[in-house]
Amino acid sequence: MGAVTSTVAARFAFFPPTPPSYKVVKDQITGKLIFSDVLNRDHVDIHVLRTKRGQDIVSLYVRHPSARLTLLYSHGNAADLGQMHELFVELSMHLRVNVMGYDYSGYGASTGKPSEANTYADITAAYECLEREYGVQQEDVVLYGQSVGSGPTLNLAARLPRLRAVVLHSAILSGLRVMYPVKRTYWFDIYKNIDKIGQVNCPVLVMHGTRDEVVDCSHGKLLWDLCKNKYEPLWIKGGGHCDLELYPQYIRHLRKFVSSLERSSLTKSRSRKKFSLLGRTISA
């Protein structure tokens, strides 16, 4: 029974678009990697990253000239970077943040097959690319997990003690809980977010539609209840599983959240400088 249920949960979790919405090609003029069939921009970088599990995954990085924070976005099911590209550009512009997105193993032009373990390696490769290629510090990263993407998001968030914040968008309690009203965690379940959310110390914003037909809104509400560091949640009345971005309160609430993080970072920075100056004064 356990093996069967685990297989069912895994099948529910992974539906990569077939065929993929893009291919990775090299621009003949610049030599940069670009997406075919997608409007390419100068401030967008494409990378192919090798994961610790031996897969080559595709990532997309959108730069904003005045960004203080970087959003690492783990997208939902049945989507790939070609489809998410425009949303990432819009989020970067409206929130004034850098945005890194990536395709899980087996999604888009990424190699391999999707699995829970592979997605954990995938998000780690994307995060390490931010550190290596762009000098992004942990304190300036906001992890954003949509639907199934909440799994790798919370798995990484639980391992980053200085992470700036987390956004959970139509998130799941666990794979099994999406399908069955189970009251306890079984070893064969996948994405046990219900057990990991309590390990996250940074501010967490939870957003969920009240008419989500795939992942009931109760998943988001319980995750919010279990958060250590709660930010005002957003329950979008009438919102479904794949349409929250269409509601005006979505971007307004995200902008409010990002602004609060920027103010908090500025306050902490000033406090550190004041402490440093006091230290030099005392030692003089």
Neighbours of 151 (CB within 10 A): 25
> Tell me, what DSSP letter sits at residue 170?
S
Query: Does the annotation mark 212 as catalytic?
Result: yes
Average pLDDT over all residues of the chain: 91
What's the pLDDT at 220?
98
The verdict on pTM exceeding 0.75 is: yes
The DSSP element (H or E) to which 60 belongs, if any, is strand 56-62
- Return the pLDDT at 256: 98
What is the pLDDT at residue 63?
97
Question: DSSP readout, 40-59?
Answer: --TTEEEEEEE-TTS-EEEE
Q: Where are the alpha helices (DSSP H) in the chain?
A: 2-13, 81-95, 116-134, 150-157, 175-179, 193-196, 217-226, 248-283
d(CA 148, CA 123): 13
Q: Which residues contact 93 (CB under 8 A, 6 or more apart)?
A: 64
> Which residue among 64, 85, 208, 241 is the active-site one?
241
pLDDT for the residue 40: 83
Interatomic CA distance for residues 164 and 162, integer angstroms: 6
pLDDT at 6: 54
Residue 9, pLDDT score:
56
Selected catalytic residue, list 45, 103, 122, 212: 212
CA distances from 176 to 16, 47, 117, 127, 185 (A): 19, 33, 16, 27, 9
Q: How many Cα neighbours within 13 Å face the side chain of 152? A: 30
6, 21, 115, 147: the catalytic one is 147
Q: What is the pLDDT of residue 1?
A: 46
- The verdict on whether 241 is a catalytic residue reads yes
Regions of the chain short of the pLDDT cut 70:
1-12, 265-284
